[in-house]
Structure 1
Amino acid sequence: MASVPTPSSPAEIQETVQSILAAEGLPPIVQVGHPALRQSAARYDGQLTDEELAGLIDLMRRVMHNAPGVGLAAPQLGIPLQIAVAEDAFDVEPDVAGLRERAPLDFLVLLNPSYIAIGAGRAAFYEGCLSLNGLQAVVSRPDRVQLTYTTPDGAAMQAEYAGWQARIVQHETDHLHGTLYVDKAELRSLTTNEEYGLRWMAPDISRARQELGFLPD
């Protein structure tokens, strides 16, 4: 089922951003069940002043780092705008990084992003979300994508991403259209963070696939 568009007007969106920016401390990340996570966010077309946009991007980056996570979409703060940030600077074991094609991702700001798969290759790994605290599941995604987006200064951009970087930009772009990773997940793989840490932290998903019974060969 396609997500319904946000009912929020430009004025209401701006008021929400102003309220969040004026508050003390970092705002909470909204959790599944919040309507902003299940609606298509409004395309960004100048609903905010330049100062408000810069302030929101800075705030989103700080919330992402504090979580900690590798991406955050504006709807995760209850803001129905097509804005997302991403950055992956975590130290990862070499065997994990190699198998998952996980390379550092410099800080990235995405306005109105969309993606298309490049080729037919896919990769399946465990994935989590800051708006579904305590859970992870295996998601099969295209392993290479072409991302189209706008920068905060209005420049139109296209870039190709592969491996874990491709996973990150797909995950965040999906958020802006009301899609959560569990919508695409192998639900038999669903696990708590505790069980994941105890059993399924191998570089690949082969053992989890066999013992939990998903994605058969």
Structure 2
Amino acid sequence: MEKEEEEQAIPDAPLLWNAPLQVIKYPDPRLRAGNATITRFDDTLRAFAKDMFDAMYDDEGVGLAAPQVGVNIRLMVFNEMGKRGEGEEVVLVNPEIISYGKTQDLFEEGCLSFPELYGNVERPTKVTIRAHDEFGKRFKLTLSGWPARIFQHEYDHLQGTLLPDRMQPEVRENIAAGLEALVREFQATNPGTSPAL
């Protein structure tokens, strides 16, 4: 089990965002920033989760973490089918990993914050987690296969870990030109902001 970073608790900070949400791209520093523990389970949180699903579907994704839309809190959403009205919409607030399965597999992953960049990533095929839902109810869940991979990918975002961090050096080398292009684009559109590589 990975050592988790210390979570930041901001008890009464209001949750602020602008709709429609836009997925931010690497190397935006918000993708590497710490993410606050959620303590307020209210209509605002539920509205934000709904807007996250909208952004995820608009970008044809199957999962999305709050830092990917520039909001640094510990919340993720996913739907393994990736289509509105199909599959189950899952909201996980303040998720924690309890245990990993013993078997692993290699699979090509992409990420909405790294458009059109793909590479093989090895992950456990099973994970048991604890989390809250959007109403504050605490629950335990075991995920296997594709949902387990989606969860681990989005959980990485809550830890500030990004897709290339999980790739072997030779795989990362295959997307190096694409990463450099994203850095150039970020620097051109965000002068004076330091990229988080």
Q: Identity over aligned residues, as a percent?
A: 31
Distance, in Å, in 2 between the alignment partners of 1:182 and 1:35 is 15
TM-score, normalised via structure 1 length: 0.70
- Structure 1 Cα separation of the partners of residues 120 and 26 of structure 2: 18
Cα RMSD, aligned residues only: 2.7
Judged with a 3 Å threshold, the aligned counterparts in structure 2 of structure 1 residues 177 and 118 are, in CA distance, closer, same or farther, namely closer
Normalising by structure 2, we get a TM-score of 0.76
Deviation at 1:181, TM superposition (A): 1.9
Contact 2:129–2:141, Cα closer than 8 Å, also in 1: yes
Alignment match, 1:78: 70
Unaligned runs of 5+ in 1: 92-103, 193-217
- Which residue, 67, 80, 94 being the options, matches 2:59? 67
| CA distance, structure 2, for counterparts of residue 8 and residue 32 of structure 1 | 26
- Note the 1:49-64 alignment, pairs <5 A: 50-64=42-56
Could you say which residue in structure 2 is the equivalent of 1:199? none
The 5 Å alignment of 1:1-217 reads: 11=13, 14=15, 16-17=16-17, 20-21=18-19, 26-46=20-40, 50-89=42-81, 106-190=88-172, 191=174
User: Which of the two has higher C-alpha Rg?
Assistant: 1
Compared CA separation, residues 113 and 7, structure 1 to 2 (3 A): closer
Q: Taking CA–CA contacts closer than 8 Å with sequence separation of 6 or more, which of the two structures ends up with the larger relative contact order?
A: 2
Structure 1 equivalent of residue 191 of structure 2: none
Question: Secondary structure of 1:58's partner?
Answer: helix
CA drift at 1:90: 5.2
> Does the C-alpha gap of structure 1 residues 37 and 4 become closer, same or farther in structure 2, counting only changes over 3 Å?
farther
